[in-house]
Structure 1
Amino acid sequence: MGCNSACCNSSFISPQPIFGSLFGENTTISPVDNTNLEFSTAGPTSGMIANPLTNSITVNTFGVYEINFSLTDRGAVAGVPIQYSIFLNNTTNVIVSTIFFQRGGGGGADSLDPGAKTILIALNTNDVITVRATNVTPGTHSYINPTLVVRKIG
């Protein structure tokens, strides 16, 4: 069977998937203001560097990427906010890359609130992705099961 221009065009051939992931523990960790969240394990990774020692993922190829992070926030004090943000090369765009938590009023047990954020962004070779807690009042919040997944989509 012959090859026509549509099936042989290199843009139709699926390239090697490019992705990376970091996962945290199922234990409570107290965040430190403007410090990377702790990830204990690198998950499946191809075409980028997932480093649990630096709590970061480094992109090896220019392109458009989907970045997803999730965690469960544990609020111990009512009315005290916290935010978790995706950082790119030590900077963030608070509007599009942040999730906010604030426990409502009243006493009683701590609140456990899951949250997630997904963004699509063009990244360059050697861009470094991290997640940080910001606006932290010590002793008021902690996090459980952080996950960071980066996937090239274009």
Structure 2
Amino acid sequence: MKNVKFETIVTHLQTYGFVFQGSELYGGLANSWDYGPLGVEFINNLKRVWWKKFVQECPMNVGIDSAILMNPKVWEATGHIATFHDPLIDCKSCKSRYRADQLIEGAFPNVDAGKMNQTELMAFINERNVQCPVCGNHNFTDIRQFNMMFKTHIGVTEDSQS
């Protein structure tokens, strides 16, 4: 199979009604997609195959469909609040953004940076002069924690969080 650019695949999927940019009529929303007629069929088929393989055919698994919005204590007990974040770092030269641990592991495949804390990640990047894979510069911002949990409010006031 020849190398195909991501943009070519996206154009094909949009042309044939698989996906469209989310909120496209109103200017779009980054990183969000709406499924068109063929996309809905594809996703539903994929879900059915996955469900059959991993739930119906595995005696140790059972299906559950629970709420996404839950009491905040659930997210705390499951570790989501404490650990559901990524250490992000930006290249100041070309504006590329990376997870700091993946930036290190890309340059040093034998290093398990996933076990490093934020201070250790930054020290490693500076001490080993890790370079940006896009532009080759070593000109990074400090590492920031990107929280992947969405803040939501249930009810009529913002003080009722979920």
Answer whether TM exceeds 0.5 for this pair: no
TM (norm. structure 2) is 0.22
Higher relative strand content = 1
